Amino acid sequence: MKDRNILTLWFCLLLIAIAATSVMLKNNCYIGRLDVAHKNSNNITILDRINPNVASWASLARLPGIGRVRAQAIVEYRDQYNNKSNQPDLPAFKTADDLQNIKGIGPKTAEQLSEHLIFTEP
């Protein structure tokens, strides 16, 4: 009986892990591991693109040139945009240029971010 309970527990944990992975991949908010180049520690490559329309501020903060304050401003802008539009399915950001609506993000930063972002419907 004890072995059966342990087996059931492991099976449930496996199902939870599969479900969590599926949700992360479906929402396009998963950010991949960071690979640091050996020659220059400032060279960080993000292997997966993230969607600023659904990503958490913690994921956005890992993008080059963003940091915690700008990442939180992106999420705040996105939430306000969705509340004002009364259409939460309408994305606040359609291109990297739309991020220029955030204080501290200009054309240069938006261009730099474009290779790290994806803009799919939530």
Domains of the chain: 31-114 (1.10.150.320)
pTM of the full structure: 0.59
Beta bridge partners of 117: 50
Q: How far is CA 115 from the centre of its chain?
A: 14
Q: Would you state the structure tokens that stand for residue 83, as one six-digit string?
A: 């509340």
Is pLDDT above 70 for 46? no
For residue 94, report the phi and psi dihedrals to the nearest 5 degrees. -100, -25
Task: Read off the pLDDT band of 41 (50, 70, 90).
Answer: very low
For the ranges 1-10, 21-30, 42-51, 95-104, the maximum mean pLDDT occurs at 95-104
Contact by Cβ (8 Å): 50, 58: no
Task: Read off the pLDDT band of 26 (50, 70, 90).
Answer: low
